[in-house]
A and B are shown apart, each in its own frame.
Chain A
Amino acid sequence: METTGLISIDARVMIATLINFLVFFLIIKKFFYGAIKDVITKRQESIDADITGAEEKNASAGKLKLEYEGLLADIKAQEREIIRDANAEAQAQRQAILDKAHGEAKAILDKANAEIEFEKSKAMNEVKTNIVDLSLFAAEKIIHKEMDQKQHEAMILDFIDKVGEAK
């Protein structure tokens, strides 16, 4: 036997090892390759499925997101519309209340003014009527006192003429 170093190359060992390895390989290949391949394939499929599912989920999530964003926009728009309507209605009510109040105030004022005017004119007319009555009463008394026989006769003559004229 040849002395060798710690590391030496022995062709037989090498060949034996190689054959060993080949045998081992073949055995493995013969008995375990399919299983291993199956496992790997399954794993691969599972991962692929997971990826696809994730992608699908992602896509549907994106869709949902869009949907919800749309809904949210709608809701916001509705909200704005409701607020706008409410505002408009409140404004209209406010205006209506103000108008009504103004109208009522004006009516009260007008009525009061009319009443004042009426009372004023009534009082004025009463005064006027009294003045007229008194004046005519005085006139009557004066005429009655002042008229003499001649004037009476003159008036009656005038009347007689008028009776004769008008037919």
Chain B
Amino acid sequence: MSLVAKRYAQALFDTAVDKNVVDEVFDEFSTVIDLFKSEEKLMNLMLTPSINTSEKKEILNRVYGEESINLYLKNFLNILLDKNRFEYVEEINETFRQLVFPYKNTVEAVVKTAVPLDETLRAALEKNLEKRFDKKVLLKNQIDESIIGGAVVYVGDQIIDGSIKNQLNQMKTQMNSLRL
């Protein structure tokens, strides 16, 4: 994480906490970032030096569309444009998330499955993880066929491995440790 990203993220976080809009800013910032990630051209546009700042702000406004975006977040993104720091926006978002998670007693978790997890199962797993870690869990699903079946959960530096791959590996270790 660069110092610039840290400084901006901290400023946004402090403001959001101060104005009691952490959840709103967190969600909307994530949505905006997802959009930029999926629309590479849009991001390139924002970083093009030949387009002036006010035009970029106009583009951003059109991106938000009818949905009103949180004023503080909107101002924050405009400041990034003014200060020519828009290239750090993704990094700032990531740092911001890392500040928000402990604040909201939240952790990010990833569950790897061989087949896509339907929403019911994902929510059930999220609920059980919340019970287990006594924290709010933001669970994302990743497809990884190499685990064959079952699921592997990554929470921070912890791994809960309930995959067939893991069971097979354990079996393999046991069989290999048998002396002939």
What residues of chain A have their CB less than 8 Å away from a CB belonging to chain B? 121, 124-125, 128-129, 132-133, 136, 139-140, 143-144, 147, 149, 151-153, 155-164, 166-167
| Chain A nearest CB, measured from B165 CB (Å) | 8
Contact A167 B132 (CB under 8 A): yes
Interface positions, chain B 128-180, Cβ under 8 Å from A, are 128-129, 131-132, 145, 148-151, 153, 160, 162, 164-165, 168, 171-172, 175-176, 178-180
Structural contact, B121 and A156, CB atoms closer than 8 A: yes
Task: Out of A125, A152, A164, name the residue touching B115 (CB < 8 Å).
Answer: A152
Partner of B180, one of A121, A155, A157: A121
In the assembled complex, B16 has its CB within 8 A of some CB on chain A: no
Residues of chain B with a CB closer than 8 A to A167's CB: 131-132
Q: Give the interface size bracket for B toward A.
A: 20 to 34
Q: Please judge, given known A-B contacts A132-B176, A163-B132, whether A152 and B114 are in contact too, CB under 8 Å.
A: yes
A156 touches B168 (CB 8 A): no
Q: Which residues of B contact A143 (CB under 8 A)?
A: 148-149, 164
Q: How many A-B residue pairs have CB under 8 A?
A: 79
Given A153-B121, A163-B129, A167-B132, answer yes or no on A139-B149 (Cβ-Cβ < 8 Å).
no
Alpha-carbon distance between A148 and B176 when the two chains are bound, in angstroms: 30
User: CB-CB < 8 A to B153: which residues of A?
Assistant: 163
Ranked 4 nearest A-B pairs via Cβ: A164-B128, A159-B162, A124-B180, A163-B128
How far in angstroms is the closest Cβ of chain A from B163? 9
Does B113 contact A152, Cβ atoms closer than 8 Å? yes
